[in-house]
Amino acid sequence: MNSKIENKLNIQQQLILKHESFLNKVSDSLNGSFLIEKITQEYTNGYQKKEKLKHRNISWNASEGIKLKSKYSSNDIKNVKHLDFGAGTPPFLRGPYTTMYCNKKWTIRQYAGFSTAEESNKFYKKNLKAGQSGLSVAFDLPTHRGYDSNHPRVSGDVGKAGVAIDSVEDMERLFDGIDLAKTSVSMTMNGAILPIMAFFIVVAKRKKIALSKISGTIQNDILKEFMVRNTYIYPPKPSMRIVSDIFKYTSKNMPKFNSISVSGYHMLEAGASADLEIAYTLSDGLEYVRTGLQAGLKIDDFAPRLSFFWGVGMNFFTEIAKIRAARILWAEIMQNFHPENPKSMMLRSHCQTSGWSLIAQNPQNNITRTTIEAIAATIAGTQSLHTNALDEAMSLPTENSAKIARDTQLFLQEQTDICQTIDPFGGSYYLEILTQEILQKAKKHIKEIEKAGGMSKAIEKGIPKLKIEASAIKRQASIDNAKNLIIGLNCFQDNEYEDIEILDINNKLVQKTQIKKLNKIKKNRNEQLVNKYLNKLSKGCLSDKINLLSLAIEAAENKATLGEISMACEKVFGRYEANTIINSGIYAMEQNKNSQFIIAQKLTEKFKQKYGRRPRILTAKLGQDGHDRGVKIIATSFADIGFDVDIAPLFQTPKEIAKQAIENDVHIIGISSLAGGHKTLIPSLIQQLKVLGNSSIMIIAGGIIPKKDYQYLKNKGVRKIFGPGTIVVEAALDILNELI
Instruction: State yes or no: is 350 an active-site residue.
Output: no
712 tagged catalytic: no
CA dist., res. 67 & res. 39, Å (int): 30
**Domain tally for the chain?**
2
Residues 452 and 592 in one domain: no
- pLDDT of 556: 99
Domain C-terminal end among 439, 461, 483: 461
Residues 6+ apart with CB under 8 A from 518: 148, 149, 150, 166, 167, 561
d(CA 446, CA 281): 10
622 backbone dihedrals φ, ψ, rounded to 5° = -110, 145
Q: Are strands 184-187 and 720-722 parallel, antiparallel or unpaired?
A: unpaired
Spatial CA neighbour of 65 closest among 347, 445, 405: 445
- Position 723 scores a pLDDT of 87
Q: Going from the first residue of the chain to its last (740 residues), give the mean pLDDT of each consecutive group of 10, the final group possibly shorter.
A: 70 87 85 78 53 59 84 89 92 96 92 88 90 89 98 93 96 97 94 98 97 95 96 97 96 94 96 98 98 94 93 97 98 98 96 94 93 98 96 86 94 95 94 96 98 96 94 93 90 76 86 97 97 98 96 99 99 93 88 92 97 98 94 96 96 97 98 92 97 95 92 97 91 95
CATH number at residue 128: 3.20.20.240
Annotated active-site residue 625? The verdict is yes
Q: Which residue is catalytic, options 124, 265, 430, 497? A: 265
Cα–chain center distance at 651: 18
Q: Which of 111, 147, 234, 497 is catalytic?
A: 111
Which of 429, 445, 461 is the C-terminal boundary of a domain? 461
Distance CA 351, CA 322 (A): 12
Question: Which pLDDT value is given to residue 7?
Answer: 77
Residue 127 within any structural domain of the chain: yes
Buried b (16+ CB within 10 A) or exposed e, 326-336: bbbbbbbbbee
With left for phi above 0 and alpha for psi between -120 and 50, is residue 497 left, alpha or beta?
Answer: beta
Q: Which of 144, 467, 621, 667 is catalytic?
A: 621
DSSP 3-state of 491: strand
Catalytic residue among 248, 465, 627, 678: 627
The H or E element that residue 518 is part of is helix 507-523
Q: What is the CATH number of the domain that holds 691?
A: 3.40.50.280
- CB count within 10 Å of CB 81 equals 10
Partners of 350 in beta bridges: 309, 384
59 is a domain residue:
no
Q: Are residues 124 and 272 in the same domain?
A: yes
- Residue 523 is assigned to a structural domain of this protein: no
What is the model's pTM? 0.91
From residue 540, give the alpha-carbon distance in Å to each of 158, 167, 237, 440, 636.
30, 21, 15, 44, 43
Flag whether 414 is in a domain. Answer: yes
Query: Interior CA angle at 411 toward 406 and 416, to 5°?
Result: 150
Angle in degrees, 0-180, between the axes of helices 274-294 and 463-480, rounded to the nearest 10: 160
Whether residue 113 is contained in a domain is answered as yes
Annotated active-site residue 497? The verdict is no
CA distance 233 to 560: 18
From 433, 461, 489, give the residue that closes a domain: 461
101 a catalytic residue:
no
Give one word for 468, left, alpha or beta, with left for phi > 0 and alpha for psi -120 to 50. Answer: alpha
267: in domain: yes
Q: Which domain holds residue 393?
A: 107-461
Residue 207 lies in a domain: yes
Asked whether residue 590 falls in the same domain as residue 734, the answer is yes
Domain match, 591 and 453 both: no
Report the Cα 667 to chain-centroid distance in Å: 33
Strand partners, 621: 672
Active site residue 627: yes
Among residues 8, 25, 266, 632, which one is catalytic?
Answer: 266
Give domain status of residue 4, yes or no. no
Same domain for 595 and 446, yes or no, is no
Q: Is 492 helix (H, G, I), strand (E, B) or coil?
A: coil
